[in-house]
Structure 1
């Protein structure tokens, strides 16, 4: 089930929020429980040798709570198959080892998430994978970087932490002309704000720890494949490699998804107010946010997103020293890594989330601060930032 441009499901007529609450989540047949039960079990009674009840035999292979989450994720992204993992990086590792082989080449964003870069550069490169960092928002640069053995183009949009925007449809054309796969990390936007599969992506990646879970209480990851055959390949490797989401973690993400739409509306509205405040503050040299008309890819963002998200980055006029000082002075904005929860977070990417890319082509500016804007009262958030920047 995919979401059409008017927010309804093309097949069943359901809007996004209705799918988030109901897709894959029929009331329990045994008890009528409206909420999907947590099937905290490792194994299942079989009705004779090979006689599986509902297809369940062992919870690494499948678990009813995880199945509900996977069906919901597929519905929200408009894909053929959803798969839930123990973390976002577990999902990425399974995806890369499933669809690529030693000697294959992939294109990575030159401002990719540090964990993705570390996985590719320090783990999979030893396995024989080749990669090239490229400015994904520069379509000509992407086309020029493609090689005969390019198997995959990996896109983040918006990117972490520089909030660049990539034209998904344009990169999809380049990838498919090369018979390569297009993978889009949709963590920052969430399926509520952006639908990469509808724009030509083959697989969507999520850290469900972030906006999908939404409450900073679970670690998880997900893949959603547009094509059923690719979904089957990924499902085989999910089981073979084993980094699956446990039933309680799957339940927490599923619970978070129910309020994704209303939370994202508040994240976006709060972020826009903070962007206006920061853009006028004398201590701030620049604000990075795709909703700003002066953002170099604002028009692309406006075309492929329904909102500009809750992530805001900005640079300080006083350099690294000033950035570190501000990070230590906020009280409502908690100094911490991760993002996408109901509470607001502040961090220094160069010293925290992106320390792993220091000294590489992906090194981030040392005067950069990243905010994950929560859903608190906006007046309180503005007062906290104002005091820290004073």
Structure 2
């Protein structure tokens, strides 16, 4: 009976029958059978002994599989309510492996539809690496479902969306977009980095594949670079896993351990990120030096209805556009970004410390001159988990410098 109970408990942890935080702490993370250690060991071995040719314990070579990687793959797949999870060396490595599903052309389509607001690195990968190899792309407004349906290019093989987007935080109706795409045989990929599986599970809304930069909220401490892919589609999972093994974009065991550790506190961190973000928004919405605040909770925000429908809360990212005043709007935005003391001027996002940046000159510089170019007076905040009063005071002082 004990074995039966243990098996049932493990199945519940790994398949989503228990609560989110319980699965974050336990899915794929049984105590070590050899020592009883409750923390999943970091397995550094590059090769594994076999009892006979082809007879092993599930591992043979570290590029193909690693016990620490298996733990984090099980953990995050459970949180995304996906059947399969695969961790990668970086978010862009994960994205590149997903894009390889287009070779040979998926359902006759080679074109990628990309939301007209997206991470600069994703844009660069698609526009500068994949398009020269014969895979065209089109930037589309994914808030208008009727227009998407009416103007769908016949050669589309994949639609790629972030929701909320980076850096304008626009939100899209995943279920509606997936319905249009699946009618036309296209793969639906959702970058869930900003929302995290705590706030949104795209696969339950019709997405085929979810991607993450695990560097951000999943790791949560600015100390690891990683990527993740989740899917419940047998064929896509098999091809992505094959390509990863063949091309070798695998994370190191210690990186897997850091992501595994970070995800354990994802729920409590996201609650604090969201709470602090609302305090920042309260400062900005009526500030005389702020032209526009971009946050999904605001009723006039693009995609607010979609966010309210499919997200548990509205996230820890806040963007805003500043007024120029005595200087140009771009200079004013850069001055604010440079004037904070608790918000750190840095790229990246999703960690415990608050970050501030000027996307046009930093993370989204590669999109300049493209349909994804961002406003030059835009400031993006990754609101951390410090005391909210300190963050509000810090940003208010920075705004006073313009």
For this structure pair, what is the TM-score category when the shorter chain's length is used for normalisation?
Answer: over 0.9
What value does the CA root-mean-square deviation take over the aligned residues? 1.4
1:368 has 2:378 as partner? yes
| Contact 1:43-1:59 at 8 Å conserved across structures | yes
Look up the match of 1:134. 140
C-alpha displacement of 1:245: 1.2
Look up the match of 1:380. 390
Look up the match of 2:97. 94
Look up the match of 2:77. 74
C-alpha displacement of 1:12: 5.8
Look up the match of 1:26. 30
Unaligned runs of 5+ in 2: 1-11
Look up the match of 2:165. 159
| Contact 1:101-1:129 at 8 Å conserved across structures | no
Show structure 1 runs of 4+ deviating over 4 A.
8-12
Look up the match of 1:43. 47
| 1:134 to 1:282, Cα distance in 2 relative to 1, 3 A | same
Look up the match of 1:297. 303
| 2-structure distance, mates of 1:40, 1:144 | 52
Structure 1 stretch 80-89 or stretch 119-128: which is displaced more?
119-128
**After superposition, what is the alpha-carbon deviation per residue over 1:233-289, rounded to whole angstroms, capped at 9, x for unaligned?**
211111111101110000000000000000000000000110011011110011000
| Contact 2:291-2:320 at 8 Å conserved across structures | yes
Structure 1 stretch 175-184 or stretch 295-304: which is displaced more?
295-304
Scaled by the length of structure 2, the TM-score of the pair is 0.93
| 2-structure distance, mates of 1:76, 1:182 | 19
C-alpha displacement of 1:11: 5.9
Pairing partner for 2:316 from 310, 317, 334: 310
| 2-structure distance, mates of 1:74, 1:93 | 19
Unaligned runs of 5+ in 1: 1-7
| 1-structure distance, mates of 2:147, 2:282 | 32
Pairing partner for 2:60 from 50, 57, 71: 57
| 2-structure distance, mates of 1:10, 1:217 | 26
| Contact 1:134-1:141 at 8 Å conserved across structures | no
| Contact 2:295-2:301 at 8 Å conserved across structures | yes
Look up the match of 2:206. 200
| Contact 1:45-1:57 at 8 Å conserved across structures | yes
1:351 has 2:361 as partner? yes
Look up the match of 2:175. 169
Scaled by the length of structure 1, the TM-score of the pair is 0.96
| Contact 2:168-2:319 at 8 Å conserved across structures | yes
1:15 has 2:19 as partner? yes
1:213 has 2:219 as partner? yes
Pairing partner for 1:320 from 330, 337, 341: 330
**After superposition, what is the alpha-carbon deviation per residue over 1:168-200, rounded to whole angstroms, capped at 9, x for unaligned?**
000000110001111000000000000100000
1:276 has 2:282 as partner? yes
| Contact 1:132-1:145 at 8 Å conserved across structures | no
Look up the match of 2:9. none
| 1:89 to 1:10, Cα distance in 2 relative to 1, 3 A | closer
| Contact 1:201-1:226 at 8 Å conserved across structures | no
| 2-structure distance, mates of 1:317, 1:383 | 19
Look up the match of 2:342. 332
C-alpha displacement of 1:382: 0.6
